[in-house]
A and B are shown apart, each in its own frame.
Chain A
Amino acid sequence: MRDRVYRTEAVIIRRSDVGEADRVLTILTPLGKQRVVARGARKISSRLAGHIELFTHATLMLAIGRNLHIVTQSNPLERFDRLRTDLERIGAAYYAAELVDRLVEEADENRRAFALLLATLRSLDAGAAADLTLRAYELHLLDALGYRPQLHICAVCGELLTESTDRFSASAGGAVCPRCAIADRQAPPMSLPAFKLLRYLQAQPPEIAGDLRISPATRAEAERLMRAYLHQILERDLRSLAFLEDVRLTQHLAEPDHADTTGMRRFAQGDNDDSN
């Protein structure tokens, strides 16, 4: 049998165990998403094992297999070691990986999505505020994949939005003008700071997100709005949200006066408001 091998740059976004000691990896490459198998990768002696950890950015050598292609070698380019030692950042990386996994189809070329995931992992690793980094990632990824939320013109009538905008309708596809808001009573309210934050994050390069100084309440609101929007597109919540919330709750127990987590908890409780 001819052994055809090729090289690709990839980020490992998902991993599961199969067989005795193998792992199936979902990788994101500039050419799209792909599922590949790493044989024997659960064995401690495997040279491959340490090089195909979740979220690793690597150059992979792949052999064309009958079903899944087989990882024969991995040369890590970035391991994001700092990210791996912090529970909030691990949770954020899980979320970033799951979001792109859910939004990108297999073999669907998207260099921008690949670059965005990498930039997000770099920001998280460098210590940027995890929630703002994720908001910027969501907005830019949605744009790259054709799901851009409307934040400059009304999602219903197309009229230019002004500072009097105070509603965000996930089902309409973004912010709505006051006139259309009267017609769509389902649209949840949006404060001016949250509106401005989302617009700013959408317009600026994602790397700036971590440097912004934004109140916890506004951050929590931006998260709630984006979650409603993503829920509309994905038709269900991401699995990593349960983990992120659990991590926040335990952090809250450990540090009861932490300003950030108070905002996050308010957000978690305010969840019910969406359905009303």
Chain B
Amino acid sequence: MATSWLDRLSGGLGRTRDKLGEGINVLLRRGPDVDDAFWDDLEETLIVADMGPGAAADIVGDLRDVARREALPDAAAVIDRLVGAIAGRMPAAENDPLAEDPVTVLFVGVNGTGKTTSVGKIAAAASRSGRKVLLASADTFRAAAIEQLRVWAQRAEVPLVERERGSDPASVVYDALTEARRVGSDMVLVDTAGRLHTSKDLMEELRKVQRVAVAQSVHPVRSVLVIDATTGQNGLVQARQFHDALGLDGIVLTKLDGTAKGGIAVAISRDLGLPILRLGVGEAIEDMQPFDATEFARALVGRV
């Protein structure tokens, strides 16, 4: 790979940025007038970013008030405020569970969002920074999920605890935490099977995994929801259900290297008061980026 780590990261987000930036630039090209059509276009831009019609109307409503109250001079001034309005909706991580030491973290979410890949990337970064990481493969359902995590464990050069496919995922977690105690790991990352939040049985299975983790872990146990940036409004329902079931501690937002803007994450973060912890910006081991609300909001509105 010729490109540097940082290049790739900003390249990934850059595309997100460009796309929404395009929308905003169109807005600006309309001229400085802040008329009804401007507000409509602004709302459209936010909806197309998957922020949802409700949140979009909210943000535009707030901005309209501000524009009137403060007599904002032109469209550019309004858009500058937009950055603040979006960033203001996302709480900062007071305690980043991925920086907590020691810690056990469960990675959960619906199917195919990027849980396993994120576990691999986070393990690599933590291990490089000197943490003693251990991985647990609690996806005992999907074909070759264990093999996939095994590859990531090798790449990240961290140990993996696994059992054969079809075993009880809670028992893998039990084994992993026993092993963690034995070898003195300070960070246990648990990869779980994707599951739709509508499946009662699978959500109950996940609760059991969490219960076992809490009972066995000598470290605090955290749960992180992995959301795909292409997700639409259903993401909010997903997040609520996983939050109800487990009490989430944060969000990892993946696949921001495409054109999807991940606006649903703003809605989730705002609605549930959950911090976004990391951004996935590619399939390579280094494609994980820290989250900064203002930067993210700037990237969304194309103002960097």
A and B assemble together: no
